[in-house]
Amino acid sequence: MFKKSKPFLFNFILLVGLFSHPKNTIAQSTDTPIIPFNKGLSITIDGNLSDWNNQNNLFCVNQFISPWGNQNFGKTIFKAFHDGSYFYFYFDIKDNNMVEKKFEKEQDVGRGDRGEIFLSAYSDLREYYCFEISPSAKVLDYRASHYRKFDYGWDLESLEVKSKINPDGYILEGRIPMAFIKGLMASNSEQGLYLGLFRGEFDSMEWNDKTINWISWIRPTSEKPDFHIPSAFKKVQFGQ
């Protein structure tokens, strides 16, 4: 009796698995996600996302994880596309306690809440670029090479980003010229880049390893929090 019911149960579990999370699998998928090409979209970089409404053909990450910490963090959504001229993106981050250090130098961004985009042409991170953006759209951008060699003097002047702070979180909306991204892709032969999407979630100005929550779109293979390693990146391709 039990033996007979097994195939049914197995099929049922398969079906439930297939259909229970249809929109949440982009980061877990073994396929290479595509940043779609959209020509007709008119996006204004102003921190207001109404211009993204009703757009279905987007790269969308709506399930982030805390690989080393508390899963009880605010909903985090990242969406993006490109139009050949710019890579457009936004983070929509729920956060009831926004922490941001007074901005005196770029590295102050690293002392508080932020969304982060890392890009590399190389799976071994011999060279990669990081954009860390605070709730008030202050930017810490730098060039890096594995392992943790940071050149904070590097800036992407053409990065545009605006934010909107709401009572329950913040929105970061921005664009990066495709000329920069194509320049990176030109240095490999893969027509894609390795992408890191992260959040630093703080609840206090004090640096406290127990309460800072490091959030990612994929799970890096590291026992301690670290986004500056190859397994924190996942390959994506840019649609034609």
Which residue, 162 or 228, is less far from Ca ion as judged by CB?
162
What are the residues facing 141 on neighbouring strands?
131
User: Using an 8 Å Cβ cutoff, are 106 and 186 in contact?
Assistant: no
**Distance between CA atoms of 60 and 57, rounded to whole angstroms?**
9
Q: How far is the CB of 225 from Ca ion (least distance, A)?
A: 16
Amino acid at 226: D
Q: How far is the CB of 152 from Ca ion (least distance, A)?
A: 23
Q: How far is the CB of 2 from Ca ion (least distance, A)?
A: 50
Q: How far is the CB of 187 from Ca ion (least distance, A)?
A: 31
Which residue, 92 or 185, is less far from Ca ion as judged by CB?
92
Which residue, 135 or 196, is less far from Ca ion as judged by CB?
135
Which residue, 99 or 121, is less far from Ca ion as judged by CB?
99
- Across 95-233, where does the E strand assignment appear? 114-120, 128-133, 139-145, 149-151, 160-166, 169-177, 192-201, 213-216
Which residue, 44 or 85, is less far from Ca ion as judged by CB?
44
Chain contacts with Ca ion (rule: CB under 5 A)? 44, 46, 48, 51, 95, 97, 113, 202
206 φ, ψ (degrees, to nearest 5): -75, 140
Q: How far is the CB of 186 from Ca ion (least distance, A)?
A: 29
Chain-centroid distance of CA 133 in Å reads 11
